[in-house]
Chains A and B, each alone.
Chain A
Protein backbone atom coordinates (compact mmCIF):
# COMPACT_ATOMS: atom_id res chain seq x y z
CA UNK A 1 0.00 0.00 0.00
CA UNK A 2 1.02 3.61 -0.35
CA UNK A 3 1.35 6.23 2.39
CA UNK A 4 2.64 9.80 2.34
CA UNK A 5 5.66 10.33 4.61
CA UNK A 6 6.89 13.91 5.07
CA UNK A 7 5.27 14.84 1.79
CA UNK A 8 6.69 11.93 -0.27
CA UNK A 9 4.79 8.85 -1.44
CA UNK A 10 6.14 5.64 -0.05
CA UNK A 11 5.25 2.01 -0.66
CA UNK A 12 4.98 0.08 2.61
CA UNK A 13 3.73 -3.40 3.51
CA UNK A 14 0.05 -3.62 4.48
CA UNK A 15 -0.47 -3.76 8.24
CA UNK A 16 2.66 -1.74 9.04
CA UNK A 17 2.49 0.22 12.30
CA UNK A 18 4.24 3.47 13.19
CA UNK A 19 7.04 1.62 15.00
CA UNK A 20 7.62 -0.48 11.90
CA UNK A 21 7.69 2.58 9.67
CA UNK A 22 10.26 4.34 11.88
CA UNK A 23 12.52 1.31 11.95
CA UNK A 24 12.19 0.85 8.18
CA UNK A 25 13.27 4.49 7.81
CA UNK A 26 16.12 4.10 10.29
CA UNK A 27 14.67 6.82 12.50
CA UNK A 28 15.21 6.46 16.27
CA UNK A 29 11.88 7.14 17.98
CA UNK A 30 13.37 8.93 21.02
CA UNK A 31 13.81 12.37 19.49
CA UNK A 32 11.02 12.57 16.96
CA UNK A 33 7.31 13.17 17.03
CA UNK A 34 4.81 11.58 14.67
CA UNK A 35 1.53 12.79 13.31
CA UNK A 36 -0.88 10.71 11.24
CA UNK A 37 -3.61 12.57 9.33
CA UNK A 38 -3.00 15.68 11.49
CA UNK A 39 -3.37 13.82 14.80
CA UNK A 40 -0.34 13.53 17.07
CA UNK A 41 0.50 9.92 17.95
CA UNK A 42 1.90 9.48 21.45
CA UNK A 43 5.15 7.56 21.56
CA UNK A 44 3.62 4.76 23.63
CA UNK A 45 1.17 4.08 20.82
CA UNK A 46 3.68 3.70 17.95
CA UNK A 47 3.59 -0.07 18.25
CA UNK A 48 0.12 -1.16 17.20
CA UNK A 49 -0.86 2.08 15.47
CA UNK A 50 -1.59 0.49 12.09
CA UNK A 51 -1.22 2.65 8.99
CA UNK A 52 -3.80 2.62 6.24
CA UNK A 53 -3.61 3.27 2.52
CA UNK A 54 -3.22 6.98 1.80
CA UNK A 55 -2.34 8.01 5.38
CA UNK A 56 -0.46 11.28 5.69
CA UNK A 57 2.44 10.76 8.08
CA UNK A 58 4.65 13.54 9.39
CA UNK A 59 7.83 12.77 11.31
CA UNK A 60 9.48 15.82 12.89
CA UNK A 61 12.47 16.59 15.06
CA UNK A 62 14.20 19.66 16.44
CA UNK A 63 16.63 21.60 14.27
CA UNK A 64 18.68 24.73 14.76
CA UNK A 65 16.46 27.77 14.66
CA UNK A 66 15.31 30.71 16.61
CA UNK A 67 15.34 34.29 15.66
CA UNK A 68 16.14 34.60 12.00
Chain B
Protein backbone atom coordinates (compact mmCIF):
# COMPACT_ATOMS: atom_id res chain seq x y z
CA UNK B 1 0.00 0.00 0.00
CA UNK B 2 1.41 3.35 -0.97
CA UNK B 3 0.10 6.10 1.25
CA UNK B 4 0.20 9.36 -0.59
CA UNK B 5 1.35 12.45 1.15
CA UNK B 6 -0.06 15.90 0.68
CA UNK B 7 1.60 19.07 1.84
CA UNK B 8 1.27 20.38 5.37
CA UNK B 9 -1.58 22.89 5.20
CA UNK B 10 -2.13 25.42 7.99
CA UNK B 11 -4.51 28.35 7.87
CA UNK B 12 -5.06 27.79 4.15
CA UNK B 13 -1.33 27.95 3.38
CA UNK B 14 0.45 24.84 2.12
CA UNK B 15 4.10 24.21 2.81
CA UNK B 16 6.77 22.31 0.90
CA UNK B 17 8.50 21.36 4.13
CA UNK B 18 7.20 19.94 7.40
CA UNK B 19 10.07 21.55 9.27
CA UNK B 20 9.61 24.99 10.85
CA UNK B 21 12.73 26.65 12.20
CA UNK B 22 13.41 29.34 14.77
CA UNK B 23 15.80 32.18 14.00
CA UNK B 24 17.40 32.78 17.39
CA UNK B 25 20.89 32.04 18.71
CA UNK B 26 22.77 32.29 15.42
CA UNK B 27 26.07 34.17 15.31
CA UNK B 28 24.95 36.36 12.40
CA UNK B 29 22.05 37.01 10.04
CA UNK B 30 24.15 35.41 7.28
CA UNK B 31 24.40 32.20 9.28
CA UNK B 32 20.67 32.33 10.04
CA UNK B 33 19.92 32.69 6.35
CA UNK B 34 22.21 29.81 5.32
CA UNK B 35 20.86 27.51 8.02
CA UNK B 36 17.25 28.26 7.07
CA UNK B 37 18.06 27.57 3.42
CA UNK B 38 19.76 24.28 4.27
CA UNK B 39 16.83 23.24 6.47
CA UNK B 40 14.44 23.48 3.52
CA UNK B 41 11.89 25.14 5.82
CA UNK B 42 9.49 27.59 4.26
CA UNK B 43 8.13 28.83 7.58
CA UNK B 44 10.27 30.58 10.19
CA UNK B 45 9.42 31.84 13.63
CA UNK B 46 10.61 35.24 14.86
CA UNK B 47 10.44 37.10 18.15
CA UNK B 48 8.91 40.52 18.76
CA UNK B 49 11.22 43.00 20.46
CA UNK B 50 11.77 46.73 20.89
CA UNK B 51 13.56 48.45 18.03
CA UNK B 52 16.98 49.71 19.09
CA UNK B 53 16.37 53.41 18.60
CA UNK B 54 19.96 54.32 19.44
CA UNK B 55 21.43 52.41 16.48
CA UNK B 56 19.90 53.61 13.25
CA UNK B 57 22.01 51.35 11.10
CA UNK B 58 20.95 48.13 12.72
CA UNK B 59 20.17 45.45 10.17
CA UNK B 60 16.76 43.85 10.04
CA UNK B 61 16.32 40.07 10.12
CA UNK B 62 13.71 40.34 7.38
CA UNK B 63 16.37 41.70 5.03
CA UNK B 64 17.81 38.18 5.20
CA UNK B 65 14.56 36.21 5.33
CA UNK B 66 12.27 37.71 2.74
CA UNK B 67 8.62 37.47 3.86
CA UNK B 68 7.73 36.83 0.20
CA UNK B 69 9.81 33.65 0.31
CA UNK B 70 9.21 32.56 3.90
CA UNK B 71 6.00 32.49 5.86
CA UNK B 72 6.78 34.50 9.00
CA UNK B 73 5.40 33.09 12.24
CA UNK B 74 5.81 35.69 15.02
CA UNK B 75 6.01 34.24 18.52
CA UNK B 76 5.27 35.49 22.00
CA UNK B 77 8.42 33.99 23.52
CA UNK B 78 9.18 35.41 26.94
CA UNK B 79 5.56 36.26 27.80
CA UNK B 80 4.32 35.08 31.19
CA UNK B 81 0.75 36.39 31.26
CA UNK B 82 -2.33 36.36 29.03
CA UNK B 83 -2.10 40.14 28.70
CA UNK B 84 1.58 40.17 27.72
CA UNK B 85 1.07 37.42 25.16
CA UNK B 86 -2.01 39.07 23.60
CA UNK B 87 -0.30 42.46 23.53
CA UNK B 88 2.73 40.97 21.79
CA UNK B 89 0.51 39.14 19.28
CA UNK B 90 -1.38 42.33 18.43
CA UNK B 91 1.86 44.27 17.92
CA UNK B 92 3.20 41.48 15.72
CA UNK B 93 0.10 41.63 13.56
CA UNK B 94 0.32 45.41 13.33
CA UNK B 95 3.77 45.02 11.76
CA UNK B 96 1.76 44.00 8.72
CA UNK B 97 3.41 40.72 7.76
CA UNK B 98 1.30 38.05 9.37
CA UNK B 99 -1.80 37.40 11.43
CA UNK B 100 -0.26 34.15 12.60
CA UNK B 101 1.07 33.78 16.09
CA UNK B 102 3.04 31.07 17.81
CA UNK B 103 1.49 31.57 21.18
CA UNK B 104 3.67 31.01 24.21
CA UNK B 105 2.53 31.78 27.72
CA UNK B 106 5.35 30.57 29.90
CA UNK B 107 4.64 29.40 33.42
CA UNK B 108 8.10 29.20 34.93
CA UNK B 109 11.55 30.52 33.92
CA UNK B 110 13.44 27.40 34.97
CA UNK B 111 11.53 24.84 32.93
CA UNK B 112 9.92 27.23 30.41
CA UNK B 113 6.93 24.92 30.58
CA UNK B 114 3.75 26.55 29.32
CA UNK B 115 1.09 27.86 31.68
CA UNK B 116 -1.60 25.78 30.00
CA UNK B 117 -4.50 27.50 31.75
CA UNK B 118 -3.34 30.96 30.65
CA UNK B 119 -2.53 29.58 27.21
CA UNK B 120 -6.10 28.39 26.73
CA UNK B 121 -7.47 31.76 27.77
CA UNK B 122 -5.10 33.64 25.44
CA UNK B 123 -5.95 31.25 22.59
CA UNK B 124 -9.68 31.98 22.99
CA UNK B 125 -9.06 35.75 22.97
CA UNK B 126 -6.78 35.74 19.93
CA UNK B 127 -8.93 33.33 17.90
CA UNK B 128 -11.87 35.68 18.50
CA UNK B 129 -9.70 38.54 17.19
CA UNK B 130 -9.01 36.64 13.98
CA UNK B 131 -5.51 35.36 14.64
CA UNK B 132 -4.27 32.02 13.33
CA UNK B 133 -3.06 30.61 16.62
CA UNK B 134 -0.25 28.06 17.09
CA UNK B 135 -0.22 27.36 20.82
CA UNK B 136 2.90 25.88 22.46
CA UNK B 137 1.51 23.39 24.97
CA UNK B 138 2.62 20.57 27.23
CA UNK B 139 2.20 17.02 25.96
CA UNK B 140 -1.19 16.73 27.67
CA UNK B 141 -3.85 15.26 25.34
CA UNK B 142 -6.72 16.83 27.31
CA UNK B 143 -5.29 20.34 27.05
CA UNK B 144 -4.44 19.78 23.37
CA UNK B 145 -8.08 18.89 22.73
CA UNK B 146 -9.27 21.99 24.60
CA UNK B 147 -7.00 24.14 22.42
CA UNK B 148 -8.44 22.55 19.30
CA UNK B 149 -11.96 23.22 20.58
CA UNK B 150 -10.93 26.83 21.32
CA UNK B 151 -10.12 27.30 17.63
CA UNK B 152 -6.34 26.82 17.49
CA UNK B 153 -5.10 26.20 13.93
CA UNK B 154 -2.57 23.62 15.10
CA UNK B 155 -1.25 22.47 18.44
CA UNK B 156 2.44 22.45 19.26
CA UNK B 157 3.17 20.05 22.08
CA UNK B 158 6.65 20.02 23.55
CA UNK B 159 8.75 16.88 23.25
CA UNK B 160 11.07 17.99 26.09
CA UNK B 161 11.87 21.35 27.72
CA UNK B 162 12.78 24.23 25.41
CA UNK B 163 16.44 24.20 24.46
CA UNK B 164 17.10 20.96 26.35
CA UNK B 165 17.82 18.73 23.36
CA UNK B 166 16.49 15.76 25.35
CA UNK B 167 14.50 14.39 22.43
CA UNK B 168 11.03 12.81 22.37
CA UNK B 169 10.46 12.09 26.09
CA UNK B 170 6.88 10.86 25.89
CA UNK B 171 6.04 9.37 22.51
CA UNK B 172 2.93 7.75 23.98
CA UNK B 173 1.32 11.06 24.90
CA UNK B 174 2.18 12.45 21.48
CA UNK B 175 0.50 9.41 19.91
CA UNK B 176 -2.63 9.96 21.98
CA UNK B 177 -2.67 13.64 20.97
CA UNK B 178 -2.33 12.57 17.32
CA UNK B 179 -5.20 10.11 17.67
CA UNK B 180 -7.41 12.62 19.45
CA UNK B 181 -7.00 15.73 17.31
CA UNK B 182 -8.10 16.52 13.78
CA UNK B 183 -5.92 19.64 13.39
CA UNK B 184 -2.17 19.42 12.62
CA UNK B 185 0.16 18.51 15.49
CA UNK B 186 3.62 20.06 15.27
CA UNK B 187 6.20 19.08 17.87
CA UNK B 188 7.76 22.20 19.32
CA UNK B 189 10.78 22.11 21.60
CA UNK B 190 13.08 19.39 22.84
CA UNK B 191 14.51 17.98 19.62
CA UNK B 192 18.28 17.59 19.97
CA UNK B 193 19.46 15.79 16.87
CA UNK B 194 18.25 14.32 13.59
CA UNK B 195 16.98 11.03 15.01
CA UNK B 196 14.69 12.95 17.42
CA UNK B 197 13.08 14.76 14.50
CA UNK B 198 12.69 11.48 12.63
CA UNK B 199 11.03 9.84 15.66
CA UNK B 200 8.52 12.68 15.91
CA UNK B 201 7.64 12.30 12.25
CA UNK B 202 7.50 8.47 12.46
CA UNK B 203 4.89 8.86 15.18
CA UNK B 204 2.75 10.66 12.64
CA UNK B 205 3.31 14.25 13.73
CA UNK B 206 2.47 16.73 10.99
CA UNK B 207 5.64 18.73 11.49
CA UNK B 208 8.47 19.69 13.80
CA UNK B 209 9.61 23.11 14.97
CA UNK B 210 13.15 23.56 16.25
CA UNK B 211 15.73 26.24 16.86
CA UNK B 212 18.49 25.32 19.30
CA UNK B 213 19.12 21.85 17.84
CA UNK B 214 20.32 23.60 14.67
CA UNK B 215 21.71 26.87 16.04
CA UNK B 216 23.69 25.27 18.87
CA UNK B 217 25.19 22.48 16.73
CA UNK B 218 28.93 22.66 16.08
CA UNK B 219 28.06 23.22 12.44
CA UNK B 220 24.56 24.69 12.26
CA UNK B 221 24.29 24.64 8.48
CA UNK B 222 25.22 20.96 8.28
CA UNK B 223 22.76 20.17 11.10
CA UNK B 224 20.04 22.11 9.29
CA UNK B 225 20.50 19.82 6.30
CA UNK B 226 20.45 16.79 8.60
CA UNK B 227 17.13 17.97 10.05
CA UNK B 228 15.74 18.57 6.58
CA UNK B 229 16.53 14.94 5.66
CA UNK B 230 15.39 13.55 9.03
CA UNK B 231 11.97 15.17 8.83
CA UNK B 232 11.51 13.85 5.31
CA UNK B 233 12.83 10.38 6.23
CA UNK B 234 10.59 10.19 9.29
CA UNK B 235 7.57 11.26 7.30
CA UNK B 236 8.28 8.68 4.58
CA UNK B 237 8.71 5.95 7.19
CA UNK B 238 5.40 6.93 8.79
CA UNK B 239 3.64 6.81 5.42
CA UNK B 240 5.33 3.53 4.47
CA UNK B 241 4.16 1.93 7.72
CA UNK B 242 6.82 0.26 9.81
CA UNK B 243 7.10 -3.51 10.30
CA UNK B 244 5.64 -4.95 13.48
CA UNK B 245 8.06 -5.40 16.38
CA UNK B 246 8.76 -8.99 17.45
CA UNK B 247 10.55 -10.33 20.48
CA UNK B 248 12.49 -13.10 18.68
CA UNK B 249 14.56 -13.35 15.54
CA UNK B 250 13.10 -14.21 12.20
CA UNK B 251 15.63 -15.12 9.52
CA UNK B 252 15.67 -13.01 6.39
CA UNK B 253 17.33 -15.72 4.27
CA UNK B 254 15.40 -18.78 2.99
CA UNK B 255 15.50 -21.88 5.17
CA UNK B 256 15.38 -24.20 2.14
CA UNK B 257 18.43 -25.20 0.08
CA UNK B 258 20.94 -25.09 2.89
CA UNK B 259 24.25 -26.86 2.07
CA UNK B 260 24.39 -30.17 3.89
* A interface with B by C-beta (< 8 Å): 5-8, 25-27, 30-35, 38, 40-43, 58-68
B45 proximity list for chain A (CB < 8 A): 65-67
In the complex the two chains form, is B91's CB within 8 Å of A64's CB?
A: no
CA distance A42 to B60 in the complex (A): 21
Which residues does chain B contribute within 8 Å of A30, judged by CB atoms?
A: 96
Residue of A nearest to B136 (CB): A67
Which residues of chain A come closer than 8 Å to B148, judged between CB atoms? none
1/0 per residue, CB under 8 A from A, across B24-57: the answer is 1110010010000000000011111111010010
Contact A32 B212 (CB under 8 A): no
Return chain A residues, CB-CB under 8 Å to B237: none
Give the chain A neighbours of B189 by CB distance below 8 A: 67
Q: Given A33-B94, A67-B188, is A60 in contact with B22 using a C-beta cutoff of 8 Å?
A: no
Q: Does B153 contact A (CB under 8 A)?
A: no
Min distance, Cβ B85 to any Cβ of chain A, angstroms: 14
A60→B50 CA distance, assembly (Å): 4
**Chain B residue with minimal CB distance to A43?**
B96
Interface residue? B124 (CB, 8 A): no
Minimum C-beta distance from B91 to chain A (A)? 5
Residues of B within 8 A of A38 (CB): 87
CA distance A33 to B90 in the complex (A): 9
Output the nearest chain A residue to B50 by Cβ-Cβ distance: A6
Q: Is the pair A58, B24 in contact by a Cβ cutoff of 8 Å?
A: no
Q: Are B95 and A61 neighbours in the complex by a CB distance under 8 Å?
A: yes
7 new A-B pairs (CB below 8 Å) besides A27-B53, A33-B96, A67-B210? A7-B50, A59-B50, A60-B51, A61-B95, A62-B46, A65-B24, A66-B23
